[in-house]
Structures are given as C-alpha cells and as structure tokens.
Structure 1
C-alpha cells in the first residue's frame, strides 16, 4: 500500500509539474499563432472581425456623406478645392469607420475570451471538495496551470492588438481632418461656433500625434524621427492658426480651411513627410500627444493581479470553511494592498484608504453575523458561575 501510494504521488506530481510548465507555453503559442494569422489577413480593413465570418458593421452613411459634402464645399468656397473627389472622400471615411469598429471589437474580444477561459479553468480546479487524493491534486494544479496559460494568452493578445491599432492610426487622423473641415463649413454658415472648429482641429492634431508617436508604418528609426519632427511642426502650425481664429474671429477662417485642405490632400496621397509647406524647422520639437506609457499598463496589471489573487483567496477560504468575517478583510488586503504599495497616484490608493476599506469590511461582516465589533465579548467564566 505504501509503495502504491508513493508511486501515485510521484506520478501525480510529475504530471502536475509537466502541465505547469507546458500550459503557459501552449497558451502563448496558440494566441501568437492566431494573432499572426489575423495580422496577415487584416480582416478589419474590410469591416470584418474575422476573415472567415461574414460579419460586417454598418457605418452611418448619412452622417458620413453630409460631412464629406461639407468638407468639399467649404474648401471650394474658400478657394482651396480638394484634389480628392467627394465620392473618394466619402468612401475613405466610411472605410475608416468600419475598420476602426471591427478592430475595436476584435482587440477587445481576444483578451476577454482568453481571460474567460482562464477563469473557467480556475473554477473547475477549485469546484470539488479539497482532499489529499493525488488525482485531485493533479486536476487542481492542471486547472491553475491553464489559468495562467489564459493570462499569458491575454497578455499576448493585448500586445498584438496594440500593434494593430498603432498600425492603423492614419485612419482616425484622416477622419478627424474631414470632421475639422466639415466644422469649418458649419461655422461659415453660422450653424456652429469657433470653439467647435478649435476642438476639431485639436482632435486632428492629437490623432496625428498618436500616429507619429507610434512610428506610423515605418521600420527605419531615422524615418520615424523625421515623421515625428514633421508632425510636431504641423501640430504647431495648426494650433497657431486656430489661435488666430480665436483672436480675429471668422475672418481668419480662410487660413484654417486652406491648411486643413492641404493636410487632407497630402494624407490622401500618403505624403506624410509633407503634410504642409513652408514650415519652420526645429530640431528640438517633439510630438504633442496624450501621456500614455508603461505606468498605465503597470497599473492595469497591478489591479488585475490584486483582483485575481483576492478571488483565489476567497475561493480557497470558502472551500476550507473559513468564516466570511475573516475572509473578506483578507481579500481586501490582497486586492488593495498591491495598488497601495506599487501603484501610481492615478490609482488613488493610499494606506488610509486601505484602512478605511478594511474597517468597513469588518463592520459589514460583523453586522451580517449579528455581532457588534465595538462590544466586548461576554465573560464566559462569569456566565458559567451564574448559571
């Protein structure tokens, strides 16, 4: 019996170690293969989420047609007719809208499916009554291993989808330029104000900055630097022009329209290093873009990791019969502790906030159990003497 038991444990532990090593690698390999296939097919460019599923989105063609028509009309009205035709402009904006929607759905579906599979494996691993049976230990370890495989797959999906979004950043910039020209047309007709034009041009500058900060589709480092420097000059020129519009009023609208029309034509022709002419060259200029960096992803992983550890702790505590009044504060420490210790200020976590959350958890758990946490427990010895 002893020899059989030892052999069973050795076999279970060997299989558990093997799956714990192979499962994350398998999750990474499968997700990388799927993302590589999707990257080669690029189904979002035709408005599809997957190349083998004929699922297409419907863009708001009425709004797109109206915006394209206004952009063409205002450019012609101010003596800067567009080289791109109305039909090409409308088709281009519609294609951008469809591809952005499909890309958004695809990018958010991959990581959610991966984490859903991971949670299902974790639930299956902790669903049975815990025992020291070798088979139970093996199933539990394999379930946890595939949970981490799902987490690894989710991380791969996030990285690949970020690359897809960065590669398609020229589309939102093109649509933003059409929207800015359309706003100029409405402003010239008195249907909107100057602030709308200023906001639309600022949106264009931001989208151009996002495209340049991701390097566009360039692989050469020098080309990326040239692109970043030129876009910074274009951003400066556009914002200076809208500044004159805020100072002089609608009389300065012609300059804004002329520059937007030139930028739109150059983007249509893919002349990304000559979006505007006669720009002041400044070697020290850098692209203006919203601050996003490693800290954002670090905070996200801190929050996700704390929540997952807290969920695992609650599941283990429940299976072990730990009272809820003790499990909830411990889960709060596991969930909020990492954010307090390693998270940035944007998470808003502090030691005082952690203490308040723990105090509230103690009070809630005690109230659910019918116990007043501020009341001292009765003297068992005196009760026994009086009875």
Structure 2
C-alpha cells in the first residue's frame, strides 16, 4: 500500500484516479472482516487514512456471504451458516488442495445465513464500521453465493424466496455504507442488484495472457451481451485494464486493444498494476483512456454473430468508431456510413495513421490483425487535429 501511494505521488504525470481499493488479504480470516492481518498492523482505519491523505477515496473488498471454516465467525457461531436439507453446511468452495485462495488455510468456505438476525446484525456492523473508518467504495464479491434456493436449504427464519432474502441483505448493506459510497457488485446476480449497485462486474476475471482460463474471451462476450445494462442499471466493469510491461504475456497489440475496449464501452476503468513502475508509453495509454463523463456507445451489429466488436460514439458533428478483431485470423471488412449511423458526407480519420481515410465505393475498408483494433474519428470537417493524449477530447468541438 505504502509503495503504491508513494509511487503514485512521485509520478510526474499522475493519472486522475478517484478510488484506491484494498483487495482480499487484509483480514485474519475470511469472515473476520474487522480483524486486520499482519499485513496491516496499524489496522484498516490507518490504511484508509493513508489512502485519503494521498488524495484518493478509500475502497475495500468484502466477500459478503463468505466464511472460512477456520474463521472465528464460524468457530463461535456455526448457527450463522446456511445448511442444506440434510443439515450439512452449504459449501460453495472446498479448498483441500494447494494453492489455497489468497494464502488462507481454510479447507472449506461456507455461506452466511442472512435470515439469522445475529448474522445480519454482524454484517451490518462490519459495513458500518468499515464506512466509519473511511471506506466509501465497496466491492462485494462472490455475491451469487447468497442466492440459494429456499426449497433446498434450511434457513434460520424460513418463509421467503432467495431473492427476497438477497435484496433484504442488499438494503442493509446500502444503508450501512450510505448513498454516497460507490458499490461494485461482483460474481453477482444482475437483476436483484438493480437499485443498489453503482457498478457491476459483467464477466470473469481477466488475466495476463490472451489464452487460457483468464483470457479475455468471456469478458468480451459479456461486455457486449450486457451492454444494455450499462448506465441504465449500473456501470459495467470489464475487470482491470492490464498495463504493465513485466510479468505479462499479453502482446503490445492485445494490451492496446483491451484498454481501448474498456474505454470505448463506457465501462469502469480499473487497474491493479503499479503505475509508478510501468513504462511511460503504458502510463500514457492509461491517461489516454481516462473517462471524462458518463458515456455509452451504440453497437450497430449487436444482433449479429460477428468476428469483430464494433462500437460507435456520436456527439454533435463528431464521432468515434472502434473496431476490435477478437479472432485468430486477419479481419478484412467494409462498412458503409449508413450502417454505422453516420452521415455519408462526414470524413473519417485514422488514429493509426493520423490521416484521412480514402473510401472505396463510399465504404470504409479495414484490415485488422488478430487481437488488434482500429480507432477512427469521424467529423463533418475535412481537417482535424487528432488528440493522442486524451481520447475523449477528440469529441469536443474545438478539436
């Protein structure tokens, strides 16, 4: 924490970051949220104070339904845990093998029974205390654990559906953290969260390579498929933007494509990378995608199964066109201004070349390598000056 805060403070061009969130690992055991681990010997309030003094809003990760079998919570209050119809604990995770999640030694993770008044009161106090210590951004993870079919479990206080229990808990959390706090749901049922979450993770975790379990394929499908929720139900979160130039297997092309995808989609922009230690060109990319206000693109080919993602922004007499090739093959495609909902008289300028694009039979012709992208500015003007420092400046009237 101290390294990141000092590093950010020492950056010549520090990005305009709002929230600084502590992730899992700060407590002694999952479920014992207010008991700081040896990583935070001064406690979480001191950590939040340090974050606030550095100019950021403190944030915290909480697995709101989770309790490890080695936690004091479970040891002292086994009746706070949800049980199935055979009186066995509901165990969404069994972690007998190595490596264990986050370095904790729990072999099993249980689901909290929020129909138990004491369990609900405990979590209410957790969120109220974290908020009183200074947290104003909350990421609640593994929230789907709480949506257990009421006909398949034994609740302390029966009689309601799983969604009713779930939303009662969400109401308690929101009241505890206050309306001013930003709440990000993760691994969560989307519709029951409407009215409570400010942001929502819409896909799986994205990792350091294009292939494998943490590749971006799931995120790209979910970002497009859940686009209708963005800025209507909540702000979508496609997971962290990868920027580092060490301990990473994404290519320069892939990093650029995924960063622009997050920005153009109008989603949350997060990163976990040490910005003070990455190359300047990567830091410049992070500054380039910095959001300036709430934005939502149109997706002209949403109803089609296509090898590319196409997103369009229009603002006055200007627009942005983003095309990402998510396949392993070269993409060669033509687009008419009409199907992109642009005036055919507008001019198209490429961020790749900095020049006005020549049309072929009044159509834009693109060729994009695998995992690559193209970004264009469309304008009624015949001459424009592209802004390579701030993406959204290109839609302003004086650029």
TM-score, with length taken from structure 1: 0.22
Structure having the higher helix fraction is 1
Structure having the higher strand fraction is 2
TM-score, with length taken from structure 2: 0.22
Of structures 1 and 2, the one with the larger relative CO (CA 8 A, separation 6+) is: 1
| Structure number, greater radius of gyration | 1
